[in-house]
């Protein structure tokens, strides 16, 4: 309970329509980038997509010939991921897993963690998360992930309000910048068959990670690290990390 509202856990409300509201993020181009980098790195065909959400990248990788398991901490996200994969005829497994407690029953050749997954990991658990991925991968395994940068979270997302409004659903997103994180209050309105709307509220937290802190944590776990920014200079909004298990 906060400000007279009862909040669900992260992605409890948004998880049922995440891809729907996030349809402008460039899914197709992003998935092709992942496929290109995995091929350039010589990654094998067995992978895990950590923080898979509604499963877009899991499905895209499967369609490209990879055998991928999607993992996420949100049951609501995974329910939709299973439905969308079945609807599109994609054979993919989905499991409820937290990256900081990652425990797989197979050894993947690669791991992906796309669209801010690592921003949901607190600073004091960053090394734990990377160590879990490192331990899970086969020798020579590839780990590709991205983060929203300090610039983006402090100057674009933090202390700002966003809205997505469609005929059958609306999302309102209120952000408060703290010292090391952005706290997000999200409200989702979903239209019922009778024309009325259901409302759900949730709180999310994205943590601000400095590039050097991420690099140091990866190296300390044994990864070889390469990085690529989406934009140049100090105003880079997203950084991709491409890593290999030695």
Work out whether the CA dihedral 106, 107, 110, 114 comes out positive or negative: positive
Q: Judge whether residue 113 has pLDDT over 50.
A: yes
68-95 confidence digits (pLDDT tens) = 999 999 999 999 999 999 999 999 999 9
* Distance (Å, whole) CA 136 – CA 245: 10
Express each pLDDT in 119-130 by its tens digit. 999 999 999 999
Residue 1's pLDDT band (boundaries 50, 70, 90)? very low
Predicted TM-score (pTM) of the model is 0.91
pLDDT at 185: 95
User: Would the pLDDT of 40 be above 90?
Assistant: yes
pLDDT band at 228 (very low <50, low <70, confident <90, very high): confident
Q: How many CB atoms lie within 10 A of CB 130?
A: 26
pLDDT digits (tens, 9 = 90+) for 150-189: 999 999 999 999 998 888 889 999 999 999 999 999 999 9
Beta strand 197-207 with 67-72: parallel, antiparallel or unpaired?
unpaired
> What pLDDT shows up at residue 41?
95
C-alpha distances (whole Å) from 119 to each of 40, 80, 103, 115, 147 are 26, 22, 20, 9, 6
What percent of the chain lies above the pLDDT cut of 70?
89
Predicted confidence at residue 7, as pLDDT, reads 42
């Amino acid at each position: 309970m906060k400000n007279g509202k009862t909040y669900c856990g992260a992605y409890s409300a948004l998880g049922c329509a995440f891809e729907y509201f996030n349809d402008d993020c460039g899914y197709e181009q992003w998935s092709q980038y992942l496929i290109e980098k995995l091929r350039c790195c010589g990654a094998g065909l067995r992978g895990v997509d950590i923080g898979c959400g509604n499963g877009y990248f899991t499905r895209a990788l499967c369609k490209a010939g990879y055998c991928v398991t999607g993992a996420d901490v949100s049951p609501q996200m995974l329910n939709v991921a299973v439905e969308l994969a079945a609807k599109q005829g994609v054979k993919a497994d989905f499991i409820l897993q937290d990256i900081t407690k990652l425990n797989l029953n197979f050894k993947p050749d690669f791991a992906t963690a796309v669209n801010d997954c690592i921003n949901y990991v607190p600073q004091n658990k960053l090394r734990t998360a990377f160590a879990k991925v490192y331990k899970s991968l086969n020798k020579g395994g590839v780990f590709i992930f991205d983060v929203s940068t300090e610039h983006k979270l402090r100057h674009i997302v933090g202390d700002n309000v966003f809205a997505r409004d469609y005929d059958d659903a609306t999302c309102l997103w209120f952000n408060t910048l703290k010292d090391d994180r952005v706290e997000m209050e999200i409200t989702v309105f979903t239209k019922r068959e009778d024309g009325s709307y259901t409302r759900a509220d949730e709180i999310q937290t994205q943590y601000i990670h400095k590039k050097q802190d991420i690099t140091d944590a990866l190296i300390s776990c044994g990864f070889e690290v390469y990085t690529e920014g989406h934009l140049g200079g100090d105003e880079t909004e997203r950084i991709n990390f491409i890593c290999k298990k030695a």
